Amino acid sequence: MADTLKPRDEADVVEAVAWALVEEKTLEIVGQGSKRLIGRAAQTDLTLDLSGISGVTLYEPEELILSAKAGTPIAEIERLLADKNQELAFEPMDCGPLLGGETGRGTLGGVIAANLSGPRRPKAGAARDHTLGVHAVSGRAERFKSGGRVVKNVTGYDLSKLVAGSWGTLAVMTDLTVKVLPRAEDVTTVLVLGLDDARANAAMTAAMGSSCDVSGAAHLPARIAAKSAVAALAKAGRGVTALRLEGIPASIAYRRKQLEKLMRPFGRLTALGREDSLRLWRAVRDAAPFADGSLRALWRVSTAATAGATVAGKIVAATGAEVFYDWAGGLVWVEMPTAIAEENAVRAALGGNGHALLIRADASVRASAAAFEPQDDALAALTRRVKESFDPSGILNPGRMWAGV
Partner 1 sequence: MVAMPAADEAVLARRAAIVAALRAIVPGEGVIETEAEMRPYESDGLTAYRQLPMVVVLPQTTDEVSKILRYCHREGVKVVPRGAGTSLSGGALPLADGVLLGLAKFNRILEIDYDNRVVVAQPGVTNLGVTHAVEAAGFYYAPDPSSQIACTIGGNVAENSGGVHCLKYGMTSNNVLGVELVLMTGEVVRIGGKHLDCGGYDLLALVCGSEGLLGVVTEVTVRILKKAEGARAALVGFPTSEAAGDCVAKIIAAGIIPSGMEMMDKPAIHASEAYAHAGYPLDVEALLIVELDGPEAEVDSLLARVSAIAKESGSTTLRASTSEEERLRFWAGRKAAFPAVGRISPDYYCMDGTIPRARLPEVLARIRALSQQYDLRVANVFHAGDGNLHPLILYDANKGDELERAEKFGADILRCCVEVGGVLTGEHGVGVEKRDLMPTMFSKEDLDQQQRVKCAFDDKGLLNPGKVFPTLHRCAELGRMHVRAGKLPFPDIPRF
Among residue numbers 109 through 148, which ones bind partner 1 (CB under 8 A)?
115, 117, 121-122, 125-126, 128-129, 138, 140-146, 148
- Residues 258-287 binding partner 1 (CB under 8 A) are 258
3-class DSSP assignment, residue 266? coil
Among 112, 159, 200, 218, binds partner 1 (CB under 8 A): 159
Among 194, 314, 340, 372, binds partner 1 (CB under 8 A): 372
Task: Tell how strand 3-5 and strand 46-49 pair up.
Answer: parallel
Q: From 4-12, 92-100, 188-196, 359-367, give the range in contact with partner 1 by CB under 8 A.
A: 4-12
Q: How far is CA 259 from CA 102, 193, 358, in A?
A: 37, 14, 35
3-class DSSP assignment, residue 221? coil
Determine the residue type at 310. T
Q: From 12-20, 94-102, 190-198, 227-235, give the range in contact with partner 1 by CB under 8 A.
A: 12-20
CA distance 143 to 155: 18
Q: How far is the CB of 227 from partner 1 (least distance, A)?
A: 26
Question: Can you spell out the DSSP letters for 56-87?
Answer: EEEEEGGGTEEEEETT-BHHHHHHHHHHTTEE
Among 36, 183, 227, 238, binds partner 1 (CB under 8 A): 183
Residue 299 interacts with partner 1 (CB under 8 A): yes or no: no
Residue 314 interacts with partner 1 (CB under 8 A): yes or no: no
User: If binding means CB under 8 A, how many residues of this protein chain bind partner 1?
Assistant: 107
> Do you know the residue count of the chain?
405
- Residues 213-252 binding partner 1 (CB under 8 A) are 213, 247-248, 250-251
Residue 103 interacts with partner 1 (CB under 8 A): yes or no: no
CA dihedral 308, 311, 317, 323 (to 10 degrees): -40
User: In the complex with partner 1, which residue's Cβ is closer, 79 or 254?
Assistant: 254
Phi-psi category of residue 108: left, alpha or beta, with phi > 0 → left and psi -120 to 50 → alpha:
alpha
Among 55, 100, 209, 404, binds partner 1 (CB under 8 A): 209
Phi, psi of 100 (to 5 degrees): 80, 15
Determine the residue type at 349. A
Q: How far is the CB of 50 from partner 1 (least distance, A)?
A: 12
